[in-house]
Structure 1
Amino acid sequence: MTLAETRTTHPLEMTTAAEVDAVRSALEGAGLLGETVRFAFFAPEEPPKSAVLDGTASDRRFRAVLLDLATGRSVDTVVSATSGEVVSSRELDPPVDGQPPIIDSEFEMIEDILNGTPEWLAALSARGIAPESVRAVPLSAGVYDIEGEAGRRIVRAFGFRQDHEKDHPWAHPIDGLVAYVDLTARSVDRVIDTGDVPVPATSGNFDDPAFAGEPRTSLKPIEITQPDGPSFSVEGNRVRWEKWDLRIGFNEREGLTLHQISFDGRPVVYRASVAEMVVPYADPAPVRFWQNYFDCGEYMFARYADSLQLGCDCLGEIHYLDAVIADDLGRPKTITNAICMHEEDTGVLWKHSDLFTGSAETRRQRRMVFSFFTPIGNYDYGFYWYLHLDGTIQLEVKATGIVFTAAAPSEYATEVAPGLQAPFHQHLFSARLDMTVDGVRNAVDEVQAQRVPMGPDNPYGNAFRKSRTRLTRESDAQRLADQSAVRTWHIVNPEVQNALGQDVGYALIPEGRAALLADESSSIHSRATFATKHLWVTQYDPAQRYPAGDFVNQNPGGAGLPAWVQADRPVDGEDIVVWHTFGTTHFPRPEDWPVMPVDHTGFTLKPVGFFDRNPTLDVPARGGAAGGHCT
């Protein structure tokens, strides 16, 4: 392979197989690989924003974190696929930095480790369970005051009984039993057995017609067609649709990323992604108090992204993009149809029937959809970015799959089937929004409704006003949503005004659901501090990418946003990044078993003063099956 084969034409194009090979060759040449060394992380090391915007970015670099399974030693590297050189290399200090994410090679060894542990086998024997019927689930350990764990690579493992090859073991949790496993030593530190709890006998086999019942025959087909083809065009990873222009990216930690989003030639967002998510559980039982998962930072969950299927995951006139990542050995792995792109009709855009003129006009709304779906353990997550005709941007996250299960009755869980419990938990996501609203220098105003007391200026008590507060420093810009006050955050450009003299802007409209509910003194509060606020605003720094820090697995806490904002940098009229926490608090229902209907969460970015008037007056008045005029 020549270096020329790895070159691309734009610094933000998607990863190629040749580039993965080039990175591996460079690391091998530098003596950093070996028989027991694995790739724990691989992703593009994007150039600084300034270099991309001024056209000086030319070097394609990648970050690779290497883990030696035999020693536990890990090395954080940056490699140029353009020159074939290792640009930087640093060994991690696990008690301080945290550990690299858990990888497939480690998942695969868990059952052998457990089945070689007398205490584990004795616990199963006491329950009358054959070891070969047990599916072990290794889970991230978190950081607790457990003697001897600091600096060691630890997971905690539950067992689930699988009654036959097609049986979903999530229906049969072996409760009261957990093993603490040292992945490097391939040994079990301790087995905690709080006593036998009957294994639920209910079925979870939703894909078995004998359990699910015969399929309905009453649903008639829905066909979505575009006889003239789609309205968007794709060139490499650049997509143009109506007045939108952007680039698409993908990496194993964040999954789908959007870059250089502009509307009618005007920049709006430089980079948008979901940079972290945490799933904290509420059950304080001795065997599960530690259950808190960072699916991005601890598992690199987009590694497992589905190859999407027409008619199942996406419907209509579809364009797919493949994604290239690296496997544990640093070899290129292509996820076919990882990203789905298509248009959707979403109902009425605007409408008016006028009393005085007799005019009656209706326009249809349409959106461009970019999506991917990834399973991680028991859950499946779909991420859907929407661009609308009127300049609105939305993110919708769809959570489905199978709820995590337990058997012991608890006030912190719902019984979802006979003898089967589903613990309470949250799904909290952090969107990283590198904003460029009509330019790089932006600011954030907190805008909300304010009641006006009854008095001389408000004699009938009907008045309310809009209050606006500029968030000037990072210490000010740590905020909670408040739906009772209709609180939103306007990202504005103080240097650009519309025809009415108002700062051009985009409003971040939150759902305003609960932030992290764990106690302020808890370990998870320290490790997932980003999730305690709905809004953070920081001054742009190309090294500050992940809100819980670069290495979340077994990180003691305080990394990421809480560390960065200690500098208390100004954010008024600066190059800023907006971080938004959103998500759901899940009290499972019986209807969530044996597979959960999709639960929805997300947020909206809506233009506020970005345009001088409704930007969709030029949308044609066509609609209906025959394409007639809408009246």
Structure 2
Amino acid sequence: MTLQTTPSTPLVQAPPVLATLVQAAAQHPLEQLSAEEIHEARRILAEAGLVGESTRFAYLGLIEPPKTARQGDVTGAARLVRAMLWDAARSRSLDVRLSLATGLVVDRRELNPEADGQLPVLLEEFGIIEDILAEDPQWNAALTARGLTPAQVRVAPLSAGVFEYGNEEGKRLLRGLGFRQDHPADHPWAHPIDGLVAFVDVENRRVNHLIDDGPVPVPEVNGNYTDPAVRGELRTDLLPIEITQPEGPSFTLEGNHLSWAGWDLRVGFDAREGLVLHQLHHSHKGRRRPVVHRASISEMVVPYGDPSPYRSWQNYFDSGEYLVGRDANSLRLGCDCLGDITYMSPVVADDFGNPRTIENGICIHEEDVGILWKHTDEWAGSDEVRRNRRLVVSFFTTVGNYDYGFYWYLYLDGTIEFEAKATGIVFTAALPDKDYAYASEIAPGLGAPYHQHLFSARLDMMIDGDANRVEELDLVRLPKGPGNPHGNAFTQKRTLLARESEAVRDADGAKGRVWHISNPDSLNHLGHPVGYTLYPEGNPTLAMADDSSIASRAAFARHHLWVTRHAEEERYAAGDFVNQHPGGAGLPAYVAQDRDIDGQDLVVWHSFGLTHFPRPEDWPIMPVDTTGFTLKPHGFFDENPTLNVPSSAAGHCGTGSEREHAAPGGTAVGHSGPDTGGQGHCGH
């Protein structure tokens, strides 16, 4: 990765040959692919006769060294690359592995599209679908009947899924819904063209099927949220907030190795998964201990709940079909990230196998998050308070109408948290009537179908080593009786999840259900296994019928928890090839082996997400909605590990006249140091 700290002078790049030599001399095997390595991978594939004019790169990424090979000094280990190649001229999908060290292809497999599915959607295909439809007589006739021309219509390139429509097996498909765009800066999501959908064979460049039920009035609302006529006058009552760290941030970043407040890890990035955190360790009282070997969001799916023939097929795997990492944004200081920011600029391959740098694609910073701990004790005469802070590693991606932020948080007390931030524009439709059961009216005549945003976190646990286990912890209410005369007693029940078949579980808010991940071979000073507890939000799982196509393809989202024995090839919750896969891949196939997971090297998969019944307030652009999970140390430390956090610097939490003023009504308002002020402008 390319590293840039902002604000700073841009780094001077070494000449390509020198840069390659320097990198080769010190490269860690988990350093992400460089532009030079992507060029080299493409060259190797071309020399092997696998790249021609019609070849496109659906995915290219690093094959990480096996977990067992990463424990010692493996600097300079052979670098392997995985490439997924689509050749439209030959109607061929290849899954290829190659060695950068030997310059040779080490493995290749041709996919059977009916059994294996298709490779991910290409960026090139976003435009191809519009080109195909612009030349299709049926599509043009449908637009003419609506008083439209192809030049006025944008077509959303939507993954097809697998359904019982005719003449689709084995074909590379997209489905297209149209939106009228009134001028180049117009947001077409305000003007859905309903009653019309095209099923497009992008491989053979033809329309496979068209559903046209006749013209439906196109909503005429204005969705241009920056238009003064829509937004109104800008507010003038928001004073600046300025985040400053005069001595710089508390973390260090060397290559992709990040260290902060006892934490150290390696920051990775993948075109499919986006951010990947490797080798999370925590050091306390001179002891460095592993916690999580690899953490990523392995999949996310957005299924829609409208059964109309125009939308009943809508479900999008934003990771496996669209590659959230490839679609990552370049971030701007003061807008996307605020404060003393360090950026990383990952490099991905484009459709032609050439490197593309996502400038400032990863944001790293620390932020104040309120009180860490506090107590005023009259008996001891003490009054102590400590401020909390967290390290934030994040990126943002745009997949069609939606934008997602992926935020990993590390805390001073050893807590790990993930938060997804969903924003952007809700998918729209012309509302059939105000009482339509499957969509919300968000503006006059404009509907937003009900849908979900469901994620799967893959947590390759390594709490004090590989021997880990998972127990389910439930609150148990006890009835009145001889041992509970006042009826106030409650306790906690522990259930060991010993095999994969036993570890497909759902959250239960009524029982306060959590899952404790521990190492039975490592005991704390109380004699209990050290561990971490996974706290789920417990939001709804996949809402679709159990025998639906999407339930088979997104089976991971049917349950909140899955636990599997570690296997290098089991990387994705919905399987390797998601696009048009018939279903059953991923977690259902993994757990079918029913392996022993008690005291084993295991992977915890956590499904979580949002069920979205859109509101009028979500239009014309949606305020951020959040979902996520928390991993908290539970017996991992012998006591509160933040007792050594110093109190705030002198003068930063005082009560002198320079630190406070009286608000209306006489309430004292304090200003606690340099983390207040104003940063109102986006920088670069």
Question: The TM-score by the shorter chain falls in which range?
Answer: over 0.9
State the partner residue of 1:380: 403
1:395 to 405, 414, 418: 418
Q: Determine the structure 1 residue equivalent to 2:66.
A: 48
1:85 aligned to 2:111? no
Partner in structure 1 of residue 231 of structure 2: 212
Report the secondary structure of 1:336's partner residue.
Answer: coil
Write the letter of the residue equivalent to 1:235: E
Matched-pair contact (CA < 8 Å) for 1:141–1:155: yes
Residues 1:159 and 2:171 are matched in the alignment = no
Per-residue CA deviations over 1:124-143 (Å, capped at 9, x if unaligned) read: 11111122100011100000
Equivalent residue for 2:296? 273
CA distance in 1, matches of 2:612, 2:599: 38
1:404 counterpart = 2:430: no
| Alpha-carbon distance in 1 for matches of 2:193, 2:23 | 49
With normalisation by structure 2, the TM-score equals: 0.91
Q: Secondary structure at the match of 1:315?
A: coil
Q: Deviations over 1:525-560 (max 9, x none)?
A: 000000001000000000000010000000000001
Q: Distance in 1 between matches of 2:444 and 2:197?
A: 23
Is the partner of 1:300 in helix, strand or coil?
A: coil
- 2:149 is aligned with 1:123: no
Alpha carbons 2:179, 2:192 under 8 Å: kept = yes
Q: 1:21 and 2:44 equivalent?
A: no
Instruction: Report the alpha carbon displacement of residue 623 of structure 1 after superposing the two structures with TM.
Output: 5.1
Q: Is the 8 A contact 1:5 1:18 kept in 2?
A: no
Contact 1:124/1:130 (8 A) holds in 2: yes
**What is the CA distance between 1:215 and its match in structure 2?**
1.1
SS for the counterpart of 2:429 is coil
Q: 2: distance between equivalents of 1:131 and 1:185?
A: 20
Task: Compute the displacement of 1:626 (Å).
Answer: 3.2
Q: Is the 8 A contact 2:271 2:323 kept in 1?
A: yes
> Structure 2: how far apart are the matches of 1:577 and 1:341?
26
Matches within 5 A, 1:476-515: 476-515=502-541
Q: How far 1:627 moved relative to its partner?
A: 6.3
**Structure 1 outlier segments of 4+, above 3 Å:** 1-6, 54-57, 623-630
**Residue aligning to 2:30:** 12
CA distance in 2, matches of 1:142, 1:71: 23
Task: Name the counterpart of 1:172.
Answer: 191
The residue matched to 1:346 in structure 2 has which SS? strand
Equivalents in 1 of 2:29, 2:270: separation in Å?
15
Structure 1 residue 4, shift from structure 2 partner: 5.1
Q: Which residue does the alignment assign to 1:535?
A: 561
Q: Which amino acid aligns with 1:539?
A: R
Q: Is 1:233 equivalent to 2:233 in the alignment?
A: no
Q: Is the 8 A contact 1:6 1:81 kept in 2?
A: no
Moved more, 253-262 or 82-91: 82-91
1:33 counterpart residue number:
51
Q: Which residue of 2 aligns with 1:337?
A: 360
- Given the alignment, which residue of 273, 296, 317 partners 2:319? 296
Which residue identity is paired with 2:337?
A: C
Query: How many Å separate the matches in 2 of 1:54 and 1:221?
Result: 49
Amino acid at match of 1:460: H
- Provide the C-alpha distance between the structure 2 equivalents of 1:180 and 1:235, rounded to a whole number of angstroms: 49
Displacement of 1:605 in angstroms is: 0.3
Shift of the alpha carbon at 1:625?
6.1
Pairwise CA distance, 1:107:
1.3
**Cα distance in 1 for residues equivalent to 2:650 and 2:334:** 23
Q: Does residue 346 of structure 2 align to residue 323 of structure 1?
A: yes
The match for 2:377 is 354
* Structure 1 residue 230 displacement after superposition: 0.7
Consecutive unaligned residues in structure 1, runs of 5 or more: none
> Match for residue 516 of structure 1?
542
Query: Residue 112 of structure 1 corresponds to which residue in structure 2?
Result: 131
TM-fit CA distance, 1:433: 0.2
The structure-2 alpha-carbon separation of the partners of 1:203 and 1:86, relative to structure 1 and needing over 3 Å to count, comes to same
Aligned to 2:120: 101
Q: Which residue identity does 2:582 align to in structure 1?
A: P
The root-mean-square deviation of aligned C-alpha atoms, in Å, is 1.4
1:144-175 deviations in Å (ceiling 9; x for gaps):
11222111111110110000111100000000
Q: Partner residue of 1:526?
A: 552
Write out aligned runs for 1:463-482 (5 A).
463-482=489-508
Q: 1:570 aligns with which of 583, 596, 599?
A: 596
Match of 1:414 in 2: 440
Q: State how far apart, in whole Å, the 2-side matches of 1:326 and 1:215 are.
A: 40
| Alignment partner of 2:630 out of 580, 599, 604 | 604
Q: How does 1:545-564 map to 2 (within 5 A)?
A: 545-564=571-590
Deviations 1:358-407 (A, max 9, x none): 10100001100000000110000001100000000000100000000000
Tell me the amino acid that sits aligned with residue 377 of structure 2. D
Equivalent residues in 2 for 1:580-591 (5 A)?
580-591=606-617
* Contact map agreement 1:272 1:432 (CA 8 A) in 2: yes
| Sequence identity (%) | 59
Asked if the contact 2:167–2:208 (Cα under 8 Å) also holds between the matched residues in 1, the reply is no
CA contact (8 A) 1:6 1:22 kept: no
| Structure 1 residue identity aligned to 2:41 | V
| Higher alpha-carbon deviation: 549-558 or 203-212 | 203-212
Give the deviation of 1:287 after TM superposition.
1.0
Measure the CA separation in 1 of the matches of 2:93 and 2:23. 26
What per-residue deviation string (whole Å, max 9, x for no partner) do you get for residues 286-338 of structure 1? 11100000000001122121111110011111100000000011001000101
For the 8 Å contact 1:258–1:272, the answer to whether it is kept is yes
The change in CA–CA distance for 1:460 and 1:176 in structure 2 (over 3 A counts) is same
Distance 1:591 1:497 in 2: 51
Shift of 1:75: 0.4
The count of corresponding residues between Structure 1 and Structure 2 is 630
- Matching residue of 2:666: none
Structure 1 window deviating more from structure 2 (3-12 vs 120-129): it is 3-12
Corresponding residue for 1:614? 640
* Counterpart AA for 1:582: F
Residue 27 of structure 1 aligns to which amino acid in structure 2?
A: L
- Asked whether the 8 Å contact 2:29–2:74 carries over to 1, the reply is no
Q: TM-score, normalised to structure 1's length? A: 0.98
Report the residue type matching 1:191 in the other structure: L
Say if 1:525 and 1:18 are closer, same or farther in 2 by CA, change over 3 A. same
Query: Displacement, 1:72?
Result: 2.5
2:78 alignment partner, one of 34, 43, 59:
59
Query: Would the aligned equivalents of 1:6 and 1:19 in 2 still touch at CA under 8 Å?
Result: no
Instruction: Report the CA distance between 1:5 and its aligned residue.
Output: 7.0
1:555-603 per-position Cα deviation (integer Å, ceiling 9, x unaligned): 0000011011111000000000000000000000000000000001000
Relative to structure 2, which stretch is displaced further, 55-64 or 532-541? Answer: 55-64
Matched, 1:450 2:473: no
**Match in the other structure for 1:68:** 87
Tell which deviates more after alignment, 411-420 or 211-220.
211-220
Distance 2:244 2:73 in 1: 40
Deviation at 1:63, TM superposition (A): 0.7
Q: Structure 1 624/451 Cα, relative in aligned 2: closer, same or farther at 3 Å? A: farther
1:117, CA displacement in angstroms? Answer: 0.9
Residue 236 of structure 1 deviates from its aligned partner by 0.5
Alpha-carbon offset, residue 408 of structure 1 = 3.3
- Separation of aligned partners in 1, 2:416 and 2:442: 36
How far is the alpha carbon of 1:56 from its aligned partner?
4.7
Which whole-Å CA distance do the structure 1 matches of 2:606 and 2:581 have between them?
Answer: 22
Q: Which runs of 5+ in 2 are unaligned?
A: 1-15, 656-671, 673-684
Q: What is the CA–CA distance in structure 2 between the aligned matches of 1:413 and 1:255, rounded to whole Å?
A: 31
Residues 220-241 of structure 1: CA distance to partner in whole angstroms, max 9, x if unpaired?
A: 0011101111111010000110
What residue identity is the alignment partner of 1:220?
A: L
**2:354 alignment partner AA:** R
Residue 284 (str. 1) matches residue 337 (str. 2): no
- Segment of structure 1 superposing worse, 57-66 or 495-504: 57-66
Partner SS, residue 106 of structure 1? helix
Describe the SS at the equivalent of 1:441: coil
